[in-house]
Amino acid sequence: MTMKKQLFLPKQIISTIVSASALILSFSVLPVLAGDIFRTSNTHNIGDNTESAFNAIFKDGNYPEATRYLKLAESTESNEPLAYAMQASLAYMNQDWDALKVYSTKTLQTAQQLNRTDPLRSNLYTAVGNFLEGAYSFKQDGPVGAMTKLQKVFDSLDEAKKLAPNDPEVNLLKGYMDLMLAVNLPFSDPSQGIEQLEKYAAPEYLANRGIAIAYRDLKQYNKALDYVNRALQQTPKNPELHYLKAQILVAQGKKQKNSSFYQEAKKNFTVALTKPNQLPKGLVAQIFYEHCKNENLLDNKDRDCNALRNPIKNGTGTWGPVELPKLD
């Protein structure tokens, strides 16, 4: 993306991109794993604790387990930028702005240290570090500081793309970023981002999840359901995927005025909420709120979903409650 395009991004697009950073970064700061999650040749190694944390989040949706491994990685794998990037993403989700600042800086510093030995990963994680710092700047100072950081993100991503245009890791990161822009900017074409994820990105379950999100936002719900089902076949334990499917089904039901979609969505909301203590409580609160609204659509009741959600949002601790409020 050129500087000219960057400067004309409106404030609401900057806000959308940065506020979604936890999602984007969660799926895009993928590691080069031992055995390499997306490459069959020219593989690189990563520490066991960082790999375990990655799998805990993205395969199982188990954030406390991931946090435990990331704490271990801080002492055993202190030169791995992915570990710090995941820490920063968790801090963003939990609105811990001091921790976000610390881990964003560590992500950027460790990425830059890779420049001589691994310029591809250095550029990728430099992009991630700048993106995370942009998220912090946005929260503290508004969109002006974030725009400066975003230009650095695009510069580093472009450099990585030059180094390895068909690399699965590069295309996963750029695919998510391109789709985020395409579904929010008027007259933008999402086909390039979808192609990057579909043809070149890996691991496949994360590529499929990204495409499902894109089609959801583009209101192409049949395609969105197709891709979220593919992701669920590959990682069925992840409650966030059931939440995504529920969202798509609710939107499809509203579009077609067909309550059968709401019934199917209820099943997926229920599955997504079976393990609330392993998800960030803010996410649990949002899933529960949307579940409540879907119940209102099903039985024509007028529950106060905000009031029912508040005990989750206001609860103590980082993770969701052991018991959720009951819907009458």
- One-character DSSP codes across 250-288: HHHHHHHT-THHHHHHHHHHHHHTS-GGGSBHHHHHHHH
| Residue 19 resides in a domain | yes
pLDDT value at position 172? 84
Considering the domain architecture, whether residues 23 and 162 belong to the same structural domain is answered as yes
| Assigned domain for 209 exists | no
Same domain as 278, residue 142: no
- Compute CA 210 distance to the chain's CA centroid, rounded to the nearest angstrom: 9
**303 and 164 in one domain?**
no
Walk along the chain (328 residues) and give the pLDDT tens digit of each residue: 433 333 334 444 444 444 444 444 444 333 344 445 555 666 556 678 888 888 899 889 999 999 999 999 999 999 888 899 999 999 998 889 999 999 999 999 999 998 988 898 899 999 999 989 988 888 888 777 677 788 888 899 999 999 988 888 888 888 888 887 777 776 678 888 898 899 888 888 989 999 999 999 999 999 999 999 999 999 999 999 999 999 999 999 999 999 999 999 999 999 999 999 999 999 999 999 999 999 999 999 999 999 999 999 888 888 888 889 988 7
- Residues whose CB is less than 8 angstroms from the CB of residue 8 and which lie 6 or more positions away in sequence, other chains included: none
The answer to whether position 255 is within a domain reads yes
Q: Which residues pair with 280 in a beta bridge?
A: 319
Do 140 and 254 share a domain, yes or no? no
Decide if 291 is inside a domain.
Answer: yes
Closest to 20 (Cα-Cα) out of 186, 120, 192, 135: 135
Residue 320 belongs to a domain: yes
Three-state secondary structure call for residue 163: helix
Q: Considering 170, 198, 215, which residue would you say is the last residue of a domain?
A: 170
Q: How far is CA 310 from CA 164, 244, 286, 306, in A?
A: 47, 22, 10, 6
User: Do 54 and 86 contact (CB within 8 A), yes or no?
Assistant: yes
State whether 130 and 16 are in the same domain: yes
User: 37 in a domain, yes or no?
Assistant: yes
**42 lies in the same domain as 148:** yes
Residues 263 and 136 in one domain: no
Residue 165 structural domain: 3-170
Give yes or no: residues 150 and 264 share one domain: no
CB 65 within 8 A of CB 49: no
Domain end point (choices 170, 192, 225): 170
What value, to the nearest 5°, has the Cα angle with vertex 37 and ends 35 and 42?
60
Please tell me whether residues 54 and 150 are part of one structural domain. Answer: yes
| Residue 290 within a domain | yes
* 3-state class (DSSP) for residue 70: helix
pLDDT at site 187: 66
Q: Indicate if 16 and 143 belong to the same structural domain.
A: yes
For the stretch 74-132, pLDDT in tens is: 999 998 888 999 999 999 988 899 999 999 999 999 999 989 888 988 999 999 999 89
Whole-angstrom Cα distance, residue 71 to residue 90? 12
Overall domain count for the chain: 2
How many residues are recorded in the chain? 328
- Which among 170, 196, 212 is the end of a domain? 170
Same domain? For 118 and 30 the reply is: yes
Token pair for residue 161? Answer: 């793309």
Are 122 and 111 contacting, i.e. CB atoms less than 8 angstroms apart? yes
Place of tokens 């969105």: 224
Same domain, 108 and 256: no
- Is 132 part of any domain? yes
| Pairwise CA distance, residues 327 & 298, whole Å | 12
For residues 194-205, one letter each, b for 16 or more C-beta atoms within 10 angstroms of the residue's C-beta and e for the rest, the string is bebbbebbbbbb
Q: Count CA within 13 A, CB hemisphere, residue 255.
A: 12
